[in-house]
Amino acid sequence: METKWLEDFVSLSETRSFSQSARLRHVTQPAFSRRIQALEAWAGVNLVDRSAYPMGLTDAGRTFLALAIEMLRTLQTSKAMLRGYATNSEGVVDFVAPHTLALTFFPSWIAGLQSTFGEVKSRLTAMNVHDAALRLLAGGCDFLVAYHHPSQPLQLDPSRFDMVVLGQEVLAPFSKVNTDGKPLFSLPATARKSAPYLAYAPGAYLGHVTEFLLKGIQTPIHLRRVYETDMAESLKTMALEGHGIAFLPMGSVRRELSENRLVEVCLPKGPSLSVEMEVRVYREKQQTLDVTNERAASLWQHLVAQAAT
């Protein structure tokens, strides 16, 4: 039995969709299905009720879900305890965050804590939002830093996890600047001459938020998908090279905006093409590690007090 099978099963219990979980786990749907079947073969019983829509878990599956989460937590706890034997590991706070936040928000945020909280020895792991949430669920980190939009809430039980809002972020469309200082690509485009669209790959959190935004626009803007990737930084690079319009977090393009290399694309009339998100940090209410990370606990209390003021 492989640990990735357990992670697959936990993911499937959340999405109730083989195709969606396969995308989030970055495997093909047939490969994902085979891994779930391998887990069921190992368990000797059906864990998934495939006759229902959306699919659900069998009685055995619901029982095994709690066990799977506990097994993943035990593995992560063991890993954390072993790290305690490493030199200079005392007081290190483990963070997980999506790649975009890891590159743009986290460095300045952690630097700002130096003046209000003191030195923070941090270890940051960047991964997609879905895997980051699984890492927190399995007890593999102290904190999860993530975006939040009401259309795409993280499936974290509020009775089990605490949350603090760290700030706001705006997702908006950007284009390379032409020689006149205006967007190289403007909106709305036309059906005959649509605008090239640099999109997020299926399953990306910012992609879901972008889709929510675009579905709410009544005015046809005529975008033509020419490129897709999981990474906002890759979309920014493509936009800077003049390949199309990309929806990017404002925090990731501040330098390019100030240098007049990118410009926000706005409709001359009609609704805004931007959407506001929160940046949140999550932590489990009850820590199960044999030795509680006192530095992480102190930092959490500081963040709660800071948010209250």
Q: What is the CATH number of the domain that holds 195?
A: 3.40.190.10
Residue position matching structure tokens 């009850």:
286
Answer whether 168's CB lies under 8 Å from 149's CB: no
The 3-state DSSP composition of the chain as helix, strand, coil percent (nearest 5) reads 40, 20, 35
| 185 and 272 together in one domain | yes
Which pLDDT band, with edges at 50, 70 and 90, does 85 fall under? low
| 155 and 292 together in one domain | yes
Which of 23, 49, 81 is a domain's end point? 81
| 155 and 177 together in one domain | no
| 154 and 289 together in one domain | yes
What is d(CA 295, CA 308) in angstroms, rounded to the nearest whole number?
Answer: 20
What is d(CA 249, CA 236) in angstroms, rounded to the nearest whole number?
Answer: 10
Q: β-pairing, 195-200 with 223-229?
A: parallel
Q: What is the largest CA-CA distance in the chain?
A: 67
Instruction: Please give the pLDDT value at position 11.
Output: 87
Structure tokens that stand for 136 in this block? 């927190």
| 113 and 260 together in one domain | no
For the cut 60, the answer to whether the pLDDT of residue 280 exceeds it is: yes
Which pLDDT band, with edges at 50, 70 and 90, does 87 fall under? very low
Phi and psi torsions of 200, nearest 5°: -80, 145
Structure tokens that stand for 233 in this block? 């930084």
pTM, 2 dp: 0.74
Q: Burial, 236: exposed, middle or buried (Cβ in 10 Å; 0-12, 13-18, 19+)?
A: buried
| 264 and 179 together in one domain | yes
Q: Which helix (H) or strand (E) is 278 found in, with range?
A: strand 275-284
The residue with greater pLDDT, 278 or 230, is 278
Counting the structural domains of the chain, the total is: 3
The residue segments making up the domain with residue 46 are 3-81
Per the DSSP assignment, residues forming a β-bridge with 144 are: 96, 282
Of 7, 2, 35, the closest CA to residue 132 belongs to 7
| 150 and 283 together in one domain | yes
What is d(CA 299, CA 166) in angstroms, rounded to the nearest whole number?
Answer: 13
Answer whether 172's CB lies under 8 Å from 262's CB: no
Instruction: Please give the pLDDT value at position 270.
Output: 74
State CA 198 to chain mean position distance: 19
| 189 and 271 together in one domain | yes
Tell me the pLDDT tens digit for each residue of 168-213.
999 999 999 999 889 999 999 999 999 999 999 887 899 999 999 9
Name the most confidently modeled range: 147-161, 235-249, 270-284.
Answer: 235-249
Q: Would you tell me the crossing angle of helices 129-137 and 59-83 to the nearest 10 degrees? A: 80
> What does the mean pLDDT of the chain come to?
88
What's 177's DSSP letter?
B
Which of 31, 51, 81 is a domain's end point? 81
Instruction: Find the CATH number of the domain harbouring 16.
Output: 1.10.10.10
| 195 and 260 together in one domain | yes
Per the DSSP assignment, residues forming a β-bridge with 136 are: none
Residue position matching structure tokens 């530095």:
295
Give me the percent of the chain exceeding a pLDDT of 70: 94
Q: β-pairing, 122-126 with 93-97?
A: parallel
| 256 and 191 together in one domain | yes
| 200 and 101 together in one domain | no
Which of 24, 46, 81 is a domain's end point? 81
| 209 and 234 together in one domain | yes
